[in-house]
């Protein structure tokens, strides 16, 4: 329903609802702050001044409010500019005063750089100590015994009488088999199980040492055991086993099925071991090998993988084990009873 209003002069005008957008300026000293608009809804009359609700006010479009806000903003911007100009003048005055002020001599000498250079005592270069040349007092190589004595503790003795210092090598980077230590993570054990290994319980000794050595290995090390007589008798599985508990338990169960018997030919077993690209191979036997076995092993070991040889007959197994160890860069040890 629309209400009618009778204004001055007897004219009848119809009121309408208009929307006026006023600007609410919140000046906080920063002229870059954008204003937040406010919406005002209310009745207004369009017409001459003094008629209806207009009454001669300019509130119908908000131009008076916008003009006031623009004036305040201009005055604030001018004040900020004047303050910035005064700050610049003060800084210039301070800089001029600092350069014009004479520096007083301090307790360490004159403040003038030229006077300070003249007051500095001359350096007698003839009495200067000459610099040491490179190599006059260089590092020296110490033996394991000397290094252990310097640390204040005796060198670690191996269970078979040797004195290698392996304390600098982490446990997961080494292995020891019948007193011969090797460094690496993948080790293959090639062990004789021929008929002669039944003498003096040599095979039982070899099995016990295998269990002890493998139990001392840690992850991420891996191992593989290959017995041989007339041919290879490998541990189940194509690849080396991880040094975890299930693999060690599997090895202990499998060793119970290995019995002595047959001849002594390590060539096929060594070829299988070298094909796995280990870090080192441990070869254990108590008898002589066929003729030309050492030369054939040297030809197949093109990468010079160290083969550490153990003579479980106390040195009576012949010269083949010594040759294989020497040609491959490994170690040799004779272990009797």
Task: In whole angstroms, give the CA distance from residue 280 to residue 157.
Answer: 22
Domains of the chain: 13-97 (no CATH), 161-334 (3.40.50.410)
Would the pLDDT of 152 be above 80? no
What's the chain's average pLDDT? Answer: 74
Question: What integer pLDDT is reported at residue 107 of this predicted model?
Answer: 52
Lowest mean pLDDT among 7-11, 233-237, 281-285, 313-317: 7-11
Please give the structure tokens belonging to residue 49.
């001044």
Q: Please give the residue that has the higher pLDDT: either 269 or 108.
A: 269
Would the pLDDT of 215 be above 90? yes
Task: Name the helix (H) or strand (E) containing 275.
Answer: helix 267-275
Q: Please give the residue that has the higher pLDDT: either 171 or 33.
A: 171
Question: What integer pLDDT is reported at residue 147 of this predicted model?
Answer: 64
Would the pLDDT of 298 be above 80? yes
Question: What integer pLDDT is reported at residue 21 of this predicted model?
Answer: 47
Task: In whole angstroms, give the CA distance from residue 79 to residue 98.
Answer: 29
Would the pLDDT of 13 be above 60? no
- Quick count: other Cβ atoms within 10 Å of Cβ 276? 16
C-beta of residue 319 within 8 angstroms of C-beta of residue 309: no
Question: For residue range 189-212, what is the model confidence (pLDDT) as tens digits?
Answer: 999 999 999 998 999 999 999 999
Q: What share of the chain has pLDDT > 70, as a percent?
A: 51
Question: What integer pLDDT is reported at residue 115 of this predicted model?
Answer: 65
pTM, entire model: 0.53
C-beta of residue 206 within 8 angstroms of C-beta of residue 242: no
Segment 165-188 shows an average pLDDT of: 88
Question: For residue range 59-93, what is the model confidence (pLDDT) as tens digits?
Answer: 445 555 655 666 656 666 666 667 766 666 656 56
Q: Please give the residue that has the higher pLDDT: either 154 or 292.
A: 292
pLDDT band at 151 (very low <50, low <70, confident <90, very high): low
Task: In whole angstroms, give the CA distance from residue 302 to residue 323.
Answer: 16
pLDDT band at 2 (very low <50, low <70, confident <90, very high): very low
Which three-class secondary structure state does DSSP give residue 49? Answer: coil
Question: What integer pLDDT is reported at residue 24 of this predicted model?
Answer: 46
Burial class (CB in 10 A: 0-12, 13-18, 19+), 155: middle
Question: What integer pLDDT is reported at residue 27 of this predicted model?
Answer: 47
Residue 242's DSSP bridge partners are 222
Would the pLDDT of 241 be above 70? yes
């Amino acid at each position: 329903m629309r209400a009618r209003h009778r204004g001055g002069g007897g004219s009848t005008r119809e009121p309408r609802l208009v929307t006026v957008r006023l600007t609410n300026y919140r000046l906080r000293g920063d002229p870059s702050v954008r204003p937040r608009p406010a919406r005002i809804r209310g009745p207004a009359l369009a017409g001459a001044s003094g008629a209806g609700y207009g009454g001669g006010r300019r509130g119908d479009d908000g131009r008076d409010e916008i003009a006031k806000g623009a004036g305040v903003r201009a005055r604030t911007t001018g004040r900020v500019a004047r303050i910035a100009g005064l700050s610049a003048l003060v800084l210039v005055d301070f800089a001029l005063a600092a350069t014009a002020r004479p520096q007083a001599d301090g307790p360490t000498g004159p403040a003038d750089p030229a006077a300070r250079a003249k007051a500095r005592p001359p350096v007698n270069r003839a009495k200067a100590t000459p610099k040491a040349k490179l190599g006059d007092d260089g590092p020296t190589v110490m033996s394991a015994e000397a290094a252990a004595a310097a640390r204040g503790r005796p060198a670690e003795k191996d269970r078979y009488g040797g004195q290698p210092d392996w304390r600098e090598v982490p446990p997961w980077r080494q292995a020891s088999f019948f007193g011969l230590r090797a460094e690496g993570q993948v080790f293959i054990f090639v062990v004789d199980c021929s008929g002669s290994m039944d003498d003096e319980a040599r095979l039982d000794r070899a099995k016990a040492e295998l269990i002890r050595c493998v139990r001392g290995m840690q992850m991420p090390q891996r191992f593989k055991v290959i017995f041989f007589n007339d041919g290879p008798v490998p541990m189940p599985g194509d690849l080396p086993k991880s040094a975890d508990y299930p693999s060690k338990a599997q090895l202990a169960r499998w060793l119970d099925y290995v019995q002595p018997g047959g001849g002594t030919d390590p060539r096929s077993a060594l070829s299988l071991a070298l094909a796995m690209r280990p870090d080192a191979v441990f070869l254990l036997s108590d008898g002589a090998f066929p003729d030309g076995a050492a030369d054939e092993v040297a030809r197949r070991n093109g990468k010079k993988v160290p083969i550490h040889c153990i003579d479980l007959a106390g040195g009576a197994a012949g010269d083949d084990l010594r040759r294989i160890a020497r040609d491959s860069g490994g170690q040799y040890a004779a272990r009797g009873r």
